[in-house]
């Protein structure tokens, strides 16, 4: 007698096997085993001729979805069916959320088991939790399945109906999404605000006072009982003081005159106020708050945070990481309170257990907050974790433990001082009892350092005291535009507006960046010109779809479907096929949308139009010679494009590049130009005999106007040969790359070893000795494969000498050598895996060659372009040269592209 247990991932399967008797067989479904068609080739022959087949949903037959088993899942399905043949019982143990419930339902439809079926749910992977879940199995919740299916259909209808319209009117490969488009609009609106922003300037005074050898600061707040203007008094659209505000705006001359007038005059304390403040700890993490804090503290993106958290969950370190709930179980509260008692003492324990409740009506995922797993919490040091896994677990542990700690008691102190008719204010903060701040301070990595930062100590003062003024200075200020969204602040905004679900935010933000709607620069999400064009089109012709209120109400309806309060079919009919439904709107609006207008981005006060083309954004302007077009550098954002830059780009196109001078050795002219990837220098002109002149990008942060002839000559020498490595005899070079300046030890077929060059080192002056010193230092990790800790180190490759290690991957353990990865078979254990076996797998993988482009892990855009090219070539073989373009467009836009590109839309 045996029981088959099916979970989603191999990692989870390996962990759960340890907690079940030997009669239980645990297998992984690798996520969803069935879905709507993702490409034209997945559509079954029986329905390929149907007009709705490309959509994957038969809207005329009660929105019946067309489910198929993807090509890469057929082997998994076969293995699960084979495993089921030997089982006397089937337990579906996928995640507890909507996606997990849906996966279980699809498995049931595919496997058609003839043995008893149970649905097992748990929110942590510990021996106790798994054994308990086995005794409390239930049936599949069909209402939750229906809600997930409705959401999937709704997202498909939005994406596959609007995306082809964007291809026709703006550019190939664009996508629209139910939540994605709303998120992009938020970014665009913020960027519009930044563009409309007008800077204001103001001055004030800052005093450095002293009393009893304790120094403190004071800021000017009034002159003659009139409030001195600060940043909050300015209108962002005019740069002037907001109408009706009675404030005194000081300029530099007035501020310095005031400073001279009150210099060396006596200061007097006129008022002192102490206000006790009690702070309570934040609730434990939900999905969205974890993403926000991990972004603020650890600089992790939402996708990376969820990937790491998924691994921690599947290995039994934390509870389920997709949850809207802040609730803690009694077991968790007791575990947290035990940690507080043992590590900090009873005085730091909250008098009563803190019980948090979720305010959001839509909270519907797992039933508990994200916390350390188990009935006792392992401290971060006890886990054996390291690197980013350790840091994220540490964050979760601290937040959970702090939630059961005592309040922090503080005293806020405000002191007003007067000198002549000028009033100054000093603010202080005294921590009377740190409470939960001993364990966790929101927004800081180091609790002890943060605790010190919380305090601003003022001397013991009383009204009438006369502190000494040690220094007085005039300070100029400029108002700042609204801050761009970070991943953390965008997640917070989406959640506060009720748009989407926390479990989808990571994929939404990832899609926005992958599809070219935003760039992630210095932790800020900056919308592109394409984002402006798409948002404008949707705002103009489909305003509801990018309205946060409308999208929030859609989420509420989907939640109501999950609880049985709303019916799914009438909702889909009204949304899509009703009189004002999406399909009707698209048919009506398509003829009204002028493609030329849709491709034009309207930005005020520019002497040229900004248009979206096949290769990105470009400027378009009428001149005496006719229409002039000039590419816009990819790193230039809509908010930063000004008339001066427009003029330079157009002038470069019409009059040629700016000449710096002649190369001292060759006599060729050297030019400064701006291209798609930013400014660069070029040696000589493009001609028939010199089609690719020598070029060199400017170092990051270098302005084109600051480039001298000597600097240009030095840049054109890159890559610089510094010498040979004393151990290998291979060359060592310095150069500029995508990620900045670097040195490289180039050993040919053996490989290249890179190290970044950081200030004060300079790529143009660094020598061999310093380069060798950098190359001897440990390599900084970039990306998952380099930062991951190997499960097992097997040794060096007999030919290359490079290490061969076994890592834990998304689909189970794999062996890695250089750029080659090979998966271990299911019956191979990591413990018994040998170097010889690794060499066999790697040789087989290398002989098989690279994967096809359809399975490539390249960017979405590159995949879409390859798909389009392949389709055109196929069509070209079947048609005449004259019909090639037409055939390719029909094939791509109507079949392959609809399925391949629009599927990338997010929920």
450-508 per-position pLDDT tens digit: 444 467 889 999 999 999 999 999 999 999 999 999 999 999 999 999 898 888 898 89
Give pLDDT, residue 723. 94
Confidence of residue 892 (pLDDT cuts 50, 70, 90): very low
3-state secondary structure (DSSP) of residue 906: coil
Q: Is the pLDDT of residue 210 over 50?
A: yes
**Residue range 830-849: mean pLDDT, rounded:** 71
At 550 the three-state DSSP class reads helix
Nearest to 714 by CA among 734, 744, 737, 693: 734
pLDDT digits (tens, 9 = 90+) for 403-419: 999 999 999 999 999 99
pLDDT for residue 666:
85
Share of residues in the chain with pLDDT > 70 (%): 87
Q: What is the pLDDT of residue 748?
A: 84
Cβ–Cβ < 8 Å for 872, 892: yes
Residues 6+ apart with CB under 8 A from 896: 39, 40, 867, 868, 871
Q: For residues 434-448, give the mean pLDDT.
A: 70
Nearest to 440, CA basis, from 381, 398, 384:
398
Q: What is the pLDDT of residue 789?
A: 67
**The two structure tokens encoding residue 473:** 């200075």
If one compares 771 and 440, the residue with the highest pLDDT of the two is 771
Confidence of residue 619 (pLDDT cuts 50, 70, 90): very high
Backbone region of residue 783 per phi and psi (left: phi > 0; alpha: psi in -120 to 50; beta: other values): left
Q: Which of 201-205, 250-254, 783-787 has the lowest mean pLDDT?
A: 783-787
Asked whether the predicted pLDDT for residue 780 surpasses 70, the reply is no
Inform me whether the pLDDT recorded for 885 exceeds 60.
Answer: no
Q: How do residues 733-743 score in pLDDT, each as one tens digit?
A: 999 887 788 99
16-21-27 Cα angle (round to 5): 45
pLDDT at 835: 78
What would the mean pLDDT of 590-618 be, rounded to a whole number?
A: 90
CB-based burial, 738-773: b 16+ in 10 Å, e otherwise: eeebbbbbbeeeeeebbbebeeebebbebebeebbe
What pLDDT does residue 850 have? 52
Of 233-242, 441-450, 813-822, the poorest mean pLDDT is in 441-450
Separation in Å, CA 655 to CA 630, 649, 673, 697, 698: 12, 10, 12, 21, 22
Identify whether the C-beta of residue 240 lies closer than 8 Å to the C-beta of residue 202: no
Residue 448 has pLDDT above 60, yes or no: no
Q: CA torsion angle for 525, 530, 534, 536 (degrees, to 10)?
A: 90
Beta bridge partners of 380: none
Q: If pLDDT is split at 50, 70 and 90, which confidence band does 867 have?
A: very low
pTM of the model: 0.75
**What percent of the chain clears pLDDT 90, i.e. is strictly above it?**
55
**Which of 17-26, 201-210, 744-753 has the weakest average pLDDT?**
744-753
Q: Which residue, 28, 117, 109, is CA-closest to 67?
A: 109
Most confident of 31-35, 670-674, 774-778, 854-858: 31-35
Distance between CA atoms of residues 156 and 265, nearest Å? 73
Q: Phi/psi of residue 903, each to 5°?
A: -65, -15
pLDDT confidence band for 559 (50 / 70 / 90): confident
- Alpha-carbon distance of 111 to 77, in angstroms, equals 8
The region of weakest confidence among 192-206, 262-276, 665-679 is 665-679
Segment 885-892 shows an average pLDDT of 38
Distance (Å, rounded) from C-alpha 483 to C-alpha 799?
Answer: 53
| Predicted confidence band of residue 812 (pLDDT cuts 50, 70, 90) | low
Q: What is the DSSP letter of 281?
A: P
Closest CA to 419 of 222, 215, 169: 222
Going by the DSSP 8-state scheme, the letter that residue 895 receives in this structure is I
Please report which confidence band the pLDDT of residue 869 belongs to, taking 50, 70 and 90 as the band edges: very low
Confidence of residue 836 (pLDDT cuts 50, 70, 90): confident
- pLDDT, average across residues 532-539: 96
Do the beta carbons of residue 374 and residue 126 sit within 8 Å? yes
Determine the average pLDDT of the residues in 834-844.
Answer: 76
Residues 6+ apart with CB under 8 A from 159: 175, 176, 177, 178, 902, 903, 904, 905
- Quick one: pLDDT at residue 522? 82
Query: What average pLDDT does this structure show over 789-816?
Result: 75
Residue 226 has phi, psi (to 5 degrees) of -105, 130
Per-residue pLDDT reduced to its tens digit, 635-647: 788 888 889 889 8
Q: Find the DSSP H helices in 404-523.
A: 447-454, 487-497, 502-514
What local confidence, expressed as pLDDT, does residue 853 receive?
Answer: 39
User: Residue 373's pLDDT is what?
Assistant: 94
pLDDT of residue 181: 95
| Beta pairing class for 720-724 and 201-211 | unpaired
- Give me the mean pLDDT over the 165-176 stretch: 92
| 38 to 103, 119, 175, 865: CA distances (angstroms) | 17, 28, 14, 16
Contacts of 149 (CB under 8 A, 6+ apart): 65, 102, 568
Q: Give the pLDDT of residue 153.
A: 95
Given a cut of 60, whether residue 90 has pLDDT beyond it is: yes
Residue 786 has pLDDT above 60, yes or no: no
Q: What is the pLDDT of residue 858?
A: 38
Tell me the pairing of strands 518-521 and 117-119.
unpaired
Give the strand pairing for 720-724 and 695-697.
unpaired
Instruction: Enter the DSSP assignment of 889.
Output: H
Interatomic CA distance for residues 598 and 240, integer angstroms:
34
> Is the per-residue pLDDT at 360 higher than 70?
no
Residues tagged active-site:
320
């Amino acid at each position: 007698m045996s029981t088959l247990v099916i979970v989603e991932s191999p990692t989870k399967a390996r962990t759960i096997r340890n907690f079940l008797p030997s009669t239980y067989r645990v297998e992984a479904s690798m996520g969803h085993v069935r879905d709507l068609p993702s490409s034209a080739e997945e559509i079954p022959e029986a329905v390929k001729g149907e007009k709705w087949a490309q959509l994957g949903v038969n809207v005329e037959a009660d929105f019946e979805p067309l489910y198929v088993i993807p090509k890469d899942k057929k082997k998994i399905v076969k293995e699960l069916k084979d495993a089921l043949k030997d089982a006397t019982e089937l337990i579906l143990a996928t995640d507890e959320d909507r996606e997990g419930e849906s996966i279980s339902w699809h498995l049931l439809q595919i496997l058609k088991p003839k043995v008893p079926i149970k649905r097992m749910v748990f929110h942590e992977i510990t021996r106790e939790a798994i054994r308990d879940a086995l005794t409390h199995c239930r049936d599949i919740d069909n209402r939750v399945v229906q809600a997930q299916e409705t959401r999937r259909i709704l997202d498909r209808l939005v994406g596959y109906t609007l995306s082809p319209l964007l291809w026709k009117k703006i550019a190939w490969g664009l996508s629209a999404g139910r939540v994605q488009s709303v998120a992009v609009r938020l970014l665009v609106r913020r960027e519009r605000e930044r563009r409309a922003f007008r800077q204001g300037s103001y001055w004030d005074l800052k005093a450095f006072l002293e009393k009893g050898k304790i120094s403190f600061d004071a800021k000017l707040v009034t002159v003659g009982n009139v409030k001195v203007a600060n940043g909050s008094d300015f209108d962002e659209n005019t740069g002037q003081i907001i109408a009706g505000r009675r404030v005194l705006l000081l300029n530099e001359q007035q501020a310095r005159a005031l400073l001279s007038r009150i210099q060396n005059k006596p200061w007097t304390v006129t008022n002192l106020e102490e206000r006790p403040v009690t702070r309570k700890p934040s609730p434990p993490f939900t999905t969205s708050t974890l993403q926000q804090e991990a972004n603020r503290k650890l600089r992790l993106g939402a996708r990376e945070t969820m990937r790491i958290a998924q691994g921690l969950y599947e290995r039994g370190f934390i509870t389920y990481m997709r949850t809207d709930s802040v609730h803690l179980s009694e077991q968790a509260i007791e575990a947290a309170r035990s940690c507080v008692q043992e590590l900090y003492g009873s005085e730091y324990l909250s008098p009563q257990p803190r019980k948090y409740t979720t305010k959001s009506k839509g909270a519907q995922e797992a039933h508990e907050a994200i916390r350390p797993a188990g009935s006792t919490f392992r401290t971060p040091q006890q886990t054996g974790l390291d690197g980013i896994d350790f840091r994220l677990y540490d964050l979760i542990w601290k937040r959970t433990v702090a939630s059961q700690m005592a309040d922090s008691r503080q005293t806020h102190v405000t002191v007003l001082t007067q000198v002549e008719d000028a009033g100054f204010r000093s603010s202080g903060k005294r921590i009377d009892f740190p409470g939960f701040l001993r364990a966790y301070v929101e927004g800081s990595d180091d609790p002890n350092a943060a605790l010190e930062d919380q305090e601003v100590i003022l001397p013991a003062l009383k009204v009438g005291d006369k502190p000494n003024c040690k220094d007085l200075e005039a300070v100029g200020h400029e108002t700042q535009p609204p801050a761009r969204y970070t991943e953390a602040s965008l997640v917070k905004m989406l959640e506060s507006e009720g748009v989407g679900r926390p479990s989808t935010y990571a994929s939404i933000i990832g899609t926005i960046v992958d599809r070219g709607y935003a760039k992630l620069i210095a932790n800020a999400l900056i919308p592109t010109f394409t984002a402006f064009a798409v948002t404008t089109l949707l705002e103009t012709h489909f305003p509801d779809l990018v309205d946060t209120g409308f999208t929030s109400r859609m989420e509420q309806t989907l939640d109501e479907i999950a609880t049985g309060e709303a019916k799914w079919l009438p909702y889909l009919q009204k949304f899509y096929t009703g009189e004002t439904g999406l399909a009707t709107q698209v048919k009506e609006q398509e003829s009204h949308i002028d493609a030329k207008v849709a491709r034009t981005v309207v930005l005020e006060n520019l002497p040229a139009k900004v248009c979206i083309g096949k290769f990105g954004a470009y400027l378009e302007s009428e001149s005496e010679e006719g229409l002039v077009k000039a590419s816009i550098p990819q790193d230039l954002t809509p908010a930063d494009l000004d008339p001066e830059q427009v003029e330079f780009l157009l002038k470069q196109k019409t009059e040629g590049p700016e000449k710096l001078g002649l190369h001292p050795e060759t006599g060729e002219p050297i030019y400064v130009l701006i291209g798609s990837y930013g400014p660069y220098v070029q040696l000589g002109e493009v001609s028939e005999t010199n089609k690719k002149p020598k070029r060199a990008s400017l170092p990051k942060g270098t302005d084109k106007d600051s480039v001298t002839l000597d600097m240009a000559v030095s840049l054109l020498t890159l890559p610089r040969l510094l010498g040979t490595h004393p151990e290998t005899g291979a060359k060592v070079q310095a150069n500029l790359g995508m990620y900045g300046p670097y040195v490289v030890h180039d050993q040919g077929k053996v490989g290249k070893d890179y190290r970044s060059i950081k200030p004060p080192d300079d790529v143009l002056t660094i020598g061999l000795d310093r380069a060798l010193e950098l190359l001897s230092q440990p390599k900084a990790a970039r990306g998952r494969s380099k930062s991951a800790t190997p499960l097992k180190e097997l040794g060096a490759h007999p030919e290359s000498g490079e290490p061969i290690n076994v890592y834990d991957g998304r689909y189970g353990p794999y062996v890695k050598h250089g750029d080659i990865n090979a998966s271990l078979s299911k019956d191979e254990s990591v413990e018994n895996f040998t170097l010889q076996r690794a060499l066999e797998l790697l040789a087989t993988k290398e002989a098989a060659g690279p994967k096809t482009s359809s399975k490539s892990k390249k960017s979405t855009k590159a995949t879409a372009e390859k798909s389009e090219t392949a389709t055109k070539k196929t069509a070209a073989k079947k048609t005449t040269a004259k019909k090639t373009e037409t055939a390719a467009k029909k094939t791509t836009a109507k079949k392959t592209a609809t399925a391949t590109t629009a599927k990338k839309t997010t929920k």
